[in-house]
């Protein structure tokens, strides 16, 4: 039985990790760490877990916590883990980090986009980017897993096969992505109040969103060269979901069947990626509450562009269930253990 701790257990992602681990046959939740709710019963904070998790939140020190667990999930803001983690702690247990602290290999890029100094750059070389379908073999061996963000997971997986095969011009990718409000976290912010987001939609972080360098770095690895993407996120009035619509210039004329064969070659045996039928477009409601990513595409013969579309649940495959999927790979469990939920409709 694997003993697990969750730091940041009372945020949306942390609570989802707790809910999923509760279903896992081989996991015991040892610690639920929350500085804001220390001393409070977890079931009183998340009533969906009433009589299911009967533990108090604690504010235990990360070093002491590492002594009693095999894995720590950190659902914390940027800066927490890179300011706390040491090589010595990695000798004691493994870490699955939900922040961007170890996603970007270039320290200068991280510091520029996140506006903070990185305090453990020596650990970046062993951190593995946790896009399970792309980096599965490296994930099996790592002690430090950098779990991808929601926009990045959707954007990268949607374009990855065509980038890998050099079927689209590398600097032509334009990504417009929509997110549900839960993607902004559980903290009280005026911009996320019901009256601010309901019956409205807006672009934000235009030309400056922090997921941009993450998308560029990972797609650059797949292409084999550094590349640039145009990424624009939007906030829409729904609880959960990411929908990415990506436009790129095809390097040469391709038929639907040729493109479909490429997607099938990469994703046919991937449990949680569903490439949809011809002319079928992904919808967030058909992946809600699940670890699935739905992908579709359409070729525009008039412009020579291809339109790529992807949808996922930002709290599941975009955060918590992908973290558990990576945990399963790291510890040798069945990859779907604890996260095999069927999407909820409606």
What is the rounded (10 degree) CA torsion for 23, 25, 27, 30?
Answer: 60
- Given the residues 150, 195, 251, 281, select the one marked as catalytic: 150
At which residue do the structure tokens 């904070």 appear?
Answer: 45
Q: Could you tell me the strand order of the sheet in which 94-97 lies?
A: 27-33, 2-7, 71-74, 94-97, 144-146, 128-129
Best CA proximity match to 339, nearest among 330, 322, 283, 178: 322
Which secondary-structure segment (H or E) carries 7? strand 2-7
80, 35 Cβ separation under 8 angstroms: no
93 tagged catalytic: no
Q: How far apart are CA 320 and CA 323, in angstroms?
A: 5
Burial group, residue 296, by CB count within 10 angstroms (0-12, 13-18, 19+): buried
The separation between the first and the last C-alpha atoms of the chain, rounded to the nearest angstrom, is 35
**DSSP class of 3:** E
- Write out the catalytic residue numbers: 150
């Amino acid at each position: 039985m694997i003993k697990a701790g969750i730091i940041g257990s009372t945020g949306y992602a942390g609570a989802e990790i707790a809910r999923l681990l509760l279903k896992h046959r081989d996991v015991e939740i040892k610690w639920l760490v929350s500085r804001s709710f220390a001393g409070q019963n977890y079931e009183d904070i998340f009533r969906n877990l009433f009589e299911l998790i009967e533990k108090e939140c604690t504010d235990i020190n990360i070093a002491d916590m590492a002594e009693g667990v095999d894995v720590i999930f950190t659902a914390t803001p940027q800066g927490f883990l890179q300011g706390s983690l040491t090589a010595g702690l990695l000798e004691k247990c493994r870490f699955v980090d939900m922040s961007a602290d170890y996603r970007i290999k270039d320290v200068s890029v991280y510091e520029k986009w996140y506006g903070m100094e990185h305090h453990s750059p020596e650990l970046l070389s062993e951190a593995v980017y946790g896009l399970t379908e792309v980096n599965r073999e490296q994930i099996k061996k790592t002690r430090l897993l950098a779990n991808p963000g929601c926009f990045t997971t959707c954007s990268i997986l949607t374009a990855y096969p065509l980038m890998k095969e050099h079927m689209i011009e590398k600097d032509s990718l334009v990504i417009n992505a929509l997110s549900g409000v839960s993607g902004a976290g559980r903290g009280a912010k005026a911009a996320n109040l019901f009256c601010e987001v309901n019956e409205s939609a807006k672009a934000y972080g235009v030309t400056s969103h922090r997921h941009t360098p993450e998308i560029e770095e990972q797609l650059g690895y797949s292409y084999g060269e550094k590349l640039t993407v145009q990424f624009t996120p939007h906030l829409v009035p729904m609880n959960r979901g990411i929908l990415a619509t990506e436009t790129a210039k095809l390097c040469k004329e391709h038929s639907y069947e040729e493109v479909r064969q490429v997607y099938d070659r990469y994703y046919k045996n991937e449990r949680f990626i569903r490439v949809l039928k011809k002319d079928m477009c992904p919808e967030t409601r058909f992946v809600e509450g699940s670890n699935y990513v739905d992908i579709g595409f359409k070729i525009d013969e008039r412009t020579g562009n291809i339109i790529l579309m992807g949808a996922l649940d930002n709290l599941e495959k975009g955060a918590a269930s992908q973290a558990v999927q990576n945990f399963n790979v790291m510890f040798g469990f069945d990859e779907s253990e604890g996260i095999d939920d069927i999407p909820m409709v409606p």
